[in-house]
Amino acid sequence: DAGVTQSPTHLIKTRGQQVTLRCSPKSGHDTVSWYQQALGQGPQFIFQYYEEEERQRGNFPDRFSGHQFPNYSSELNVNALLLGDSALYLCASSVQGGHGYTFGSGTRLTVV
Amino acid sequence: AQKITQTQPGMFVQEKEAVTLDCTYDTSDPSYGLFWYKQPSSGEMIFLIYQGSYDQQNATEGRYSLNFQKARKSANLVISASQLGDSAMYFCAMREFSNTGNQFYFGTGTSLTVIP
C-alpha cells in the first residue's frame, strides 16, 4: 500500500519563475493538504483540497494556488517565486473528517 | 500568540535512557487534538501519538507516551528506552476541531540526538 508520493524530490528555480509540485495521496484518502516548512521551522499550513475544491487556506498570498484532480491527486503552484519561497513543501493526505494524516517526504524547493 | 511552543531546540539522551520533550499549547477551542510527529532527515513526518482534549487518560503507543496536563496546557512526549534510530526532529502539533479543524499548527521542533 503506497503512502503519499510527492514529485519532484528536489527542484531549483530562479526568482520570478513559476513552479508546480505534485502529490499523490495514500490509497483510500480523498483529502490533500499542503504545508511549507522553512529551514529550522515547523510546517506551516498552506491549504487543503477536498472534492476538487479549496476548503481551507492558511496565511499565504495568492501566488500560491492549487488544484485537486478527480483521482484525488493534487498540485501546488507557486508563481513569481521569491527567495523566501525556498523550503520543504510537504503534502499530507487524509480521509475527510478523519484524524489520521499521512505525510509525504516532501519536495525541497530552492529559489536562486 | 504561538499556538504551539517547543522550548528545547536540541536534546541529548543516552541510549536506553528515557527522555522528555516539552510542548505547551494555546487554544480557546474546547475540542482539540494534540499530536507528536517525528521527522528524520528524509523529510517525512511520521505520526507517533495522539491525545484528544476530552481523553481522560494519557495516550501511550509502545515506547511513546504523552504526558497531558490540561490545566497547564502542556503535552510532553516521553520516549522510553531510547534507541539510536530515535535521533531525529520531533514536532508537537495541534488541531482545533471546532473552528480550523483542517489544519495542523506545528511547533518549531526539538532535535533529539541519542548517544551510544
Is residue A2 scored above 70 in pLDDT?
Answer: no
Q: Residue A96: its pLDDT value, please?
A: 85
Give the Cα separation of B116 and B113 in Å (integer). Answer: 10
Q: Residue A39: its pLDDT value, please?
A: 94
Q: Residue B101: its pLDDT value, please?
A: 73
C-alpha cell at B85: 534510530
Mean pLDDT of chain A: 95
Q: Among B4, B44, B100, select the one facing A103 at the smallest CB separation.
A: B44
Distance (Å) from the C-alpha of residue A90 to the closest C-alpha of chain B? 8
User: Is A74 an interface residue toward B (CB < 8 Å)?
Assistant: no
Which residue is listed with cell 497531558? B68
Nearest to A90 by CA among B65, B85, B11, B91: B91
At A9-52, the pLDDT tens digits run 999 999 999 999 999 999 999 999 999 999 999 999 999 999 99
- C-beta separation of A51 from A31 below 8 A: no
Three-state DSSP class for residue B114: strand
Q: Residue B99: its pLDDT value, please?
A: 72
| Residues lower than pLDDT 50 in chain B | none
Distance (Å) from the C-alpha of residue B52 to the closest C-alpha of chain A? 10
Q: Among B44, B103, B109, select the one facing A58 at the smallest CB separation.
A: B103
At A62-94, the pLDDT tens digits run 999 999 999 999 999 999 999 999 999 999 999
Q: Residue A81: its pLDDT value, please?
A: 98
Q: DSSP string covering A53-96, please?
A: EEEEE-S--TTEEEEE-TTS-EEEEE-S--GGG-EEEEEEEE-T
